[in-house]
Structure 1
C-alpha cells in the first residue's frame, strides 16, 4: 500500500479552490491516530528494533563489508554529465572516506533491524559539491525514506533556497531529515532550518541519552565526543564531532517510528522533546538511557564495543 504522504497532491477538484477536496461527496482516507499522552522512553521505543523503517545516510558512502554495518539495501552515488549537471546512479556499497560508514554503524547499533541505504555525495576527501548534495538529497526524499541522516553542511548561501525547498518537501512527505550542526561556530546549512531535526554533541558516553537545547536553532544534543565508530578496513576508532551525534538521533527516530509508524514529523519531534533527559514531565525527569533494543547486551548499544 502506498502511504498517503507519498502520493502526489491533487492540485484541483472541479468547482473547488486549488488543493481543496469535495468532502461532502467523498470520504478522505481515515488516518490512524497516535495519542501523545504518557510519553516516556518505554512508550517511545521500548522493545523496538527499527524493523520496517528505511534510513538513508547521505554522506561519503557506506562500506557494506564492515561487520558493524551489515546489509546495505541500496547504494547510489552522484554523477555528472559533460555539462556538469548532477544526477544519481547505482554504485557499489563502498566508502573510501569512512565518514558515512561511521554514521551508518551508529544507526545500525541502535536500531539493528533497520533498512539502511547509502546516497554518496562526498568524495574520498569528505568534500563535495552543492550540485551533488542537492541531487542526492532530492533522490532520498523522492525515494520515500522514513529518516535521512545528513551529517554534513554547506556554507554556500546560494544553495539555501533549493535546500529550503527540499527540506520542506521532505517534511510534507514524512521523510524526517536529521542534520548535524557545523563543528565550528560559523553559519552553514541546512541544520538551522525549522523543518529539520538539528543535532549537536554532548560528551556523555551514552547512545540513548539526549537533551533538548532551550536555545535553538540546534534542537538536541546527543553523544558526539570520543564516540567509538566503525571505520575503514573493518576496524573501530574513536572520533568526535556533531557528525556522530546526528546518527544517534537518527537511530532513536528509527526505533520510535518502528513502534509508532503513523507519527508525523511534528509528533516525532515532540517525542524526542518529551524523552529528553532535561525535560521534566509531571515533576519527574525521564531516564532515557535505560532502554536498549532487544538482543543487544549491556554496553553494546551505540558503540558495538
Structure 2
C-alpha cells in the first residue's frame, strides 16, 4: 500500500532519468516507463494541492463494483454453509452447479465448451480483487506459480481474503471464471481490502504486475466514479502489450457506468479497444435492475443468483456485475487458448456485428423494443459464447 495522497501521470522527456522526474515534480515515482514515454507519480497532499499536474485522490478511490449497498449486501447474504469439494476436485465445468444451468443455457456454454477443446489451457487471467482462498481445493490447482502472487494491500505475496463486508468476493469471482474456462490459469492479485475499497496506486501497480507476469486478460470487478488519467495510461500500456481488460459497469441501476467500464464502447475513446464493459442480466436474459447501463456498454452476461466458490471450502450464491464480468474474461480465455485462425481473437469480437458474435435480439430478450433508447444503451445484448467462439475460430 502506497501512502501517496495524489496520483498523477506525466510524460517522460528524452533522456530523463527517474531521479530527474522525481526531483522535477517533488514526487515519488511509482512507475517509470521510459520506453513507453510515461511515469506514474505519487504526491503528498501538500505537493499535490500546489501542483499544476492533473491528479486524482489515491486512498480508497476504487471499490468493488457493488456500488449499491442493498446489492452488495445481497450477494454476501447468500454465502451459506453448504460444504462441497470434500474430495478435492480441482476443476469445474458448466455443470458443476446445477443451479447455474439456466444461465449457462442462456449463453450456450455447453456448446462453447465442446467447441473450445483447450478450455482455456495456457491462458492466464489476472483477477484484481479482495483476495482469495488460496487453499480452496476447487481453486488451488488453477493458480499461477506462487512467485507471481501479489498482495498490494499488505505488501506481501499472500493475496488472501481479509474479513470485512466483501469477504469472499475475489474467491467468488475466480469461481465464475473456472466454471466457464476450467483449464485456465488464475493469477491472484489483491488490491482491495475486506470492505471492497482500494487505492488507485495499488490498482495501477497491480495492472503493471499482471502484464509483467504474462497475463493475457485482467479482470476488474471494481470501478471508480472518477476517470483517473494515470489509470487510463496504465490500461493503454497493458493493451499495447496485448493484454485485455474486462470491467464491471457497476450496480447503481443507472446510466452512469463506472470507470474503466465506461470506456468500453465509448465513441472516440483511446481505451475502447482495450476494455470490455460488462453488465448483468437475470436467468431470463433481462437486464438486472441493479446493473448500470448506457451507450458505452459492450455486452451483458448472467450476474444474478450464480453459484460459485466461497472461502473455507464453501460455495455461495452471488449477484452483481462483479460476477457477470468474469464470464467475459473466461470467454476471451476460451478463444485465446485455441489454435490460430484468420480472425484476431481480441476484444473487438465483442464489439463487432452482432450476427458474428452476439445475438442481441433473438437470443436474449434484453432488447425487447425497437426504440432508440434501448438500442443505444444496451450494447450488443447478451453474450452468446458459442457464436463468439465460432467467430473467433472462423468455424461457420
SS in 1 for 2:152: strand
Q: CA deviation at 1:241?
A: 0.3
1:246 alignment partner in structure 2: 325
The 3 A distance-change label for structure 1 pair 44 and 107 is same
Moved over 6 A (4+): 8-11
The 3 A distance-change label for structure 1 pair 180 and 44 is farther
Q: CA deviation at 1:48?
A: 3.3
CA contact 1:277–1:287 (8 Å) conserved in 2 = yes
Q: Distance in 2 between matches of 1:78 and 1:245?
A: 25
The 3 A distance-change label for structure 1 pair 155 and 182 is same
Any unmatched runs of 5+ in structure 2? 1-33, 38-110, 264-271, 286-291, 363-381, 390-396
Q: Distance in 2 between matches of 1:111 and 1:188?
A: 26
Question: Residue 135 in 1 paired to residue 205 in 2?
Answer: yes
Structure 1 segment 27-38 matched on structure 2, within 5 A:
none
How many residues in Structure 1 have an aligned counterpart in Structure 2?
Answer: 236
2:359 alignment partner in structure 1: 277
SS in 1 for 2:125: strand
Out of 209, 223, 237, the residue aligned to residue 169 of structure 1 is 237
The 3 A distance-change label for structure 1 pair 272 and 223 is farther
SS in 1 for 2:232: helix
2:246 alignment partner in structure 1: 178
SS in 1 for 2:337: helix
Q: Structure 2 length normalisation: TM-score?
A: 0.53
The 3 A distance-change label for structure 1 pair 234 and 201 is same
Q: Distance in 2 between matches of 1:279 and 1:175?
A: 30
CA contact 2:207–2:238 (8 Å) conserved in 1 = no
Out of 66, 82, 92, the residue aligned to residue 136 of structure 2 is 66
Q: Distance in 1 between matches of 2:178 and 2:335?
A: 14
Q: Distance in 1 between matches of 2:284 and 2:171?
A: 20
Q: CA deviation at 1:199?
A: 0.1
Question: Residue 258 in 1 paired to residue 326 in 2?
Answer: no
The 3 A distance-change label for structure 1 pair 264 and 162 is farther
Structure 1 segment 4-43 matched on structure 2, within 5 A:
none
Shifted more, 125-134 versus 62-71: the winner is 62-71
Greater RCO (Cα-Cα under 8 Å, separation 6 or more)? 1
Q: CA deviation at 1:124?
A: 1.6
The 3 A distance-change label for structure 1 pair 220 and 45 is farther
The 3 A distance-change label for structure 1 pair 205 and 232 is farther
Q: CA deviation at 1:217?
A: 0.8
2:86 alignment partner in structure 1: none
1:54 alignment partner in structure 2: 124
The 3 A distance-change label for structure 1 pair 191 and 267 is closer
Q: CA deviation at 1:216?
A: 2.9
Task: For residues 216-274 of structure 1, give each alpha carbon's deviation from its aligned partner in whole angstroms, at most 9, with x where no partner exists.
Answer: 31110001011112112221111110000000111111101101457353544357953
1:299 alignment partner in structure 2: none
1:300 alignment partner in structure 2: none
Q: CA deviation at 1:118?
A: 0.9
The 3 A distance-change label for structure 1 pair 161 and 275 is same
The CA RMSD measured in Å over matched residues stands at 3.5
Any unmatched runs of 5+ in structure 1? 1-7, 12-40, 81-88, 207-212, 281-285, 294-305
Q: Distance in 1 between matches of 2:353 and 2:133?
A: 29
- In terms of fraction of residues, the more helix-rich structure is 2
Q: Distance in 2 between matches of 1:234 and 1:78?
A: 25
